[in-house]
C-alpha cells in the first residue's frame, strides 16, 4: 500500500534492552518476558520481512525467515563454556544471508541492536573449511572485485573487520598483492550509529540507503565462496 505508515522499531524495544542490561537475570527476564515478545521480538519479525523485501532484488537468492533461529538470533546466551554466566544477550541480532550453506558461513547483511547503538554489517562471519580453499584461490586471482567493494564501503564510513591469520597461508607468496584478504577467516564491514536511528521515520528506507555502499561486498564474497 502506498499510503502505509513508515515502519520503525518502538522506543520500548530500546527500553527493554536497557532494562535487561541492568538486570541480566532469570527473575527479571521472566517478569518482563511479555515486554520482550511484544516490544522487541514482534517488531523484529516485521523488520526481517521489510529488509527481505527491500534487498532481495539487489541480492538474488537472499534467505530470510522472521523466526528465532531463522533470521532472528536467540536472546539466550550459551554459557556452557563461558566464565560469564549471564543468561541473556543484551542485544538483538538479525541476519539475512545469500547462499545455500549454513547461514553463518554465507555472506549477508547483519543488523545488531543495543540499547544505545545499532551496528549495520555486511559480509561473512566465518568462511567454512569447505569453502576456504575456494575463497583463497578466487581472491588470489580475482581479488580486485572484493578490494573495490571494500573500498566503496570504507568511503561510506564502514570499517573492515573479521578474524584473520597472522601470516599469509601456505601456498601463497607472503608479498601477494591481496595478502591481507588471503589472511581472512571471516570478512565483513560495519558501521555504528546511535540507536535512536531505528525508532523514527522510515527505518527500511534508511537501511536501504545505509547498506547500499556495502552490498557489493556481499556479492563479491558470494562469488568467492560459491
CATH code: domain of residue 92: 3.30.930
Number of independent structural domains in the chain: 1
Residue 3 lies in a domain: no
Q: How many CB atoms lie within 10 A of CB 153?
A: 25
Give the three-class secondary structure for 4: coil
Residue 164 lies in a domain: yes
Residue 2 lies in a domain: no
Q: Which pLDDT belongs to residue 4?
A: 60
| Residues 137, 129 contacting (CB under 8 angstroms) | no
For residue 205, what are the domain limits?
Answer: 11-225
Residue 1 lies in a domain: no
The sign of the torsion formed by the CA atoms of 215, 220, 225, 226 equals: positive
Give Cβ neighbours of residue 69 (< 8 Å, ≥ 6 apart): none
Q: Which pLDDT belongs to residue 127?
A: 96
CA 120 from chain center: how many Å?
A: 6
pLDDT tens for the chain, 226 residues long, are 344 678 999 999 999 999 999 999 999 999 999 999 999 999 999 999 999 999 999 999 999 999 999 999 999 999 998 999 999 999 999 999 999 989 999 999 999 999 999 999 999 999 999 999 999 999 999 999 999 999 999 999 999 999 999 999 999 999 999 999 999 999 999 999 999 999 999 999 999 999 999 999 999 999 999 9
Amino acid at each position: 500500500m502506498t499510503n502505509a505508515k513508515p515502519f520503525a522499531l518502538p522506543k520500548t524495544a530500546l527500553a527493554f534492552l536497557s532494562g535487561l542490561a541492568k538486570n541480566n537475570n532469570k527473575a527479571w527476564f521472566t517478569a518482563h518476558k511479555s515486554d520482550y515478545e511484544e516490544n522487541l521480538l514482534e517488531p523484529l519479525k516485521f523488520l526481517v520481512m521489510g529488509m527481505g523485501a527491500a534487498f532481495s532484488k539487489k541480492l538474488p537468492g537472499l534467505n530470510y525467515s522472521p523466526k528465532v533461529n531463522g533470521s532472528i538470533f536467540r536472546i539466550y546466551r550459551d554459557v556452557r563454556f563461558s566464565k560469564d554466566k549471564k543468561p541473556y544477550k543484551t542485544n538483538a541480532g538479525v541476519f539475512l544471508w545469500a547462499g545455500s550453506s549454513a547461514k553463518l558461513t554465507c555472506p549477508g547483511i547483519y543488523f545488531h541492536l543495543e540499547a544505545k547503538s545499532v551496528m549495520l554489517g555486511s559480509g561473512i562471519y566465518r568462511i567454512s573449511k569447505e569453502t576456504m580453499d575456494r575463497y583463497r584461490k578466487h581472491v588470489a586471482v580475482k581479488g580486485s572485485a572484493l578490494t573495490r567493494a571494500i573500498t566503496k564501503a570504507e568511503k561510506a564510513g564502514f570499517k573492515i573487520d573479521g578474524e584473520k591469520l597472522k601470516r599469509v597461508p601456505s601456498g601463497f607468496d607472503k608479498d601477494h598483492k591481496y595478502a591481507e584478504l588471503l589472511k581472512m577467516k571471516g570478512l565483513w564491514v560495519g558501521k555504528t550509529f546511535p540507536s535512536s536511528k531505528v525508532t523514527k521515520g522510515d527505518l527500511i528506507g534508511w537501511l536501504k540507503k545505509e547498506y547500499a555502499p556495502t552490498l557489493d561486498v556481499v556479492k563479491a564474497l558470494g562469488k568467492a565462496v560459491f
